[in-house]
Chains A and B, each alone.
Chain A
Amino acid sequence: MTQFSKVLTKDWFKPGSHTYAGYKANGGYEALPMALKMQPQEIIDAVKASGLRGRGGAGFPTGMKWSFVPKDSPKPKYLCINADESEPGTFKDRLILEQDPHSLMEGIAIASYALGVHTSYIYIRGEYLEQAEILEKAIAECYEAGIFGKSVLDSGWALDVYVHRGAGAYICGEETALLNSLEGKKGWPRLKPPFPAVVGLFDAPTVVNNVETINTVPTIIKMGAANYAALGTPKSGGTRLVCVSGHVNKPGVYEIPMTLSFNDLIHKQEWCGGIPGGRKVKAVIPGGSSAPVLHHSELDVAAEYEALKAKDNMAGSGAVVVMDDSTCMVRALWRISKFYAEESCGQCTPCREGTPWMERILRKIEEGQGEMKDLALLKSVVNAIAPYPPIGLGTTICALGDAAALPVHSFVDKFRAEFEQHITEKRCPFPHPFGILADEGVRK
């Protein structure tokens, strides 16, 4: 393998990387003129050939998603950028928006031209106020530079781009809930089909893409689809971003080769540099809190779509949460379940009723009030939402139900002894079930 070099994050944290001038000085806005000389179909074919997969969580091939948009629709078409990043553990899109917003702008211009789009909305979670302000500035710079407006770089292609703030709802990261929210409704997911590519925003053909996905498009055009694809594996082209948090020495966003294993990512000095205090890894969440947890014996797997899929797991949003051997797995799972109970939108009964039920059972066990039959009850509640394996057997309209169920199956199956210990000892056996604050004093 050739030496790994970053293509997405090479200019992060350079002064002015977030400005039009800074982006341009680093070689930005060279892909857009190239794209405007191509036929729209050629761009779609290039994205297909690049092997780019959606970076929001589902990992669907981007070029294929684009090709579902009907060419002959009399309705206007829309591009919606999903910046509703809220999968627990995920923070890569926030850093893209802060460090490299113009790459997203250039990607929007290229994608819009390829898809026949004249209006694009960036749906950003309401909590990202500072990031929305950065986007507003970047958009204003683009209008001034003739990137957006009546004629993109004098090509005659008109494009308007708007920022639209959400208001606090995890479910709006689900693409059809995002569309409903953008239309001014509560964020309830829609039944599919019809898919957004055919009936999306305002009932018109719509592509919804994650920030990182669109952010990657200029790189693909500039370096060529084949060169980009060659950075990755046959089924997952390019590089990807992972967000590492929890018990590691150097948490943060890393651009990694698709072949990198979790063990190397966590322990190698050039990546996360190991676990604080010389402690050992107990478990790792590989792709956001919705993904099944990995036992410490399973960390040789590559942090990549196909490798994880082969283990009935998922690369998800790239959120890697590392838990050391002082972590209480019951408490960790209880905290995750509390999130889904809070964020279930209330539309489908198994999820609306099941997620708070799971939370109550887990709290009971963590607090030392659990009984052995609770573990079977927990499993039956979870199976009513989404049996596992494989991933994708959910009984609800959207994948939030699956997302709530997957961690429960894996935590209980892989760390059953810990759950049973809580029940038999009638207490949580961990002195610090979670970590401690930096200035809280020495761990007892």
Chain B
Amino acid sequence: MLWNERRASLTSTMKMYGKHRFPGKLFIVEGIDGSGKSTQIALLQKWLESEGYVTFFSEWNSSPLVKEVTRRGKRKRALTPMTFSLIHATDFADRTEHHIIPPLKAGALVLADRYIYTAFARDVSRGVDTKWVRGLYQFAVKPTLGFYFRISLDEAMKRILGGRDAIKYYEAGMDLHLSEDIEESFRIFQGRIIEEYEKMVQEFGLVVIDASQSIEEQQVQMRSIVLEALAGTKKTRIRKWVDLGSMVRVSRG
């Protein structure tokens, strides 16, 4: 290897937030539990697929390498604010390296349910330094569009308590000992998270969607904003034979 080449390979190859250039696009949704963001991004994906785009879906806590450590740490309640922050960043790094950057390079539309802003909101609410955690996630790809589903705490609580059987320990911020009562703790902790999200709307230019509207109204708004961002993006999806097979079955039935 020549000296110059060697020197070049010694310098950083890590790309920072806002500096990545890929042919694909990244759309992400954020909001507290019960804001309806997962429903909205699933509907967005259905529509994009039907329009002929190649999409790729990426979820929070999805790295097979890290998931087990996180799960065990949570079950044993062994995570502190710092290790909670770092293990989620590790998971996110794996997700970035395997599920976000490669499809973006391939020109796909990557859809993510929760992104770095979830980490910023949660970690800062746990007492982790605001600037430090933003620095930690510098390797993240800046989304093309980040949607924030704004909802009141009361409305979100109604939806969650109606639908799910139990609030989880860390989601309720029980590790912070805010209250002995899990519902009360959840209310205080999620309240803090909303405050953090509200601060980030300006800081990161998040697109706010009023999540108290009907599902259809929200989806119409989302689609029209995404459509604008899609100008010039290739539709490259090839219909697979399995799809054709299912069509045949439907028409026969």
Chains A and B come from one and the same complex? no
User: What is the interface of chain A, defined by CB distance below 8 A to chain B?
Assistant: none
User: What is the interface of chain B, defined by CB distance below 8 A to chain A?
Assistant: none
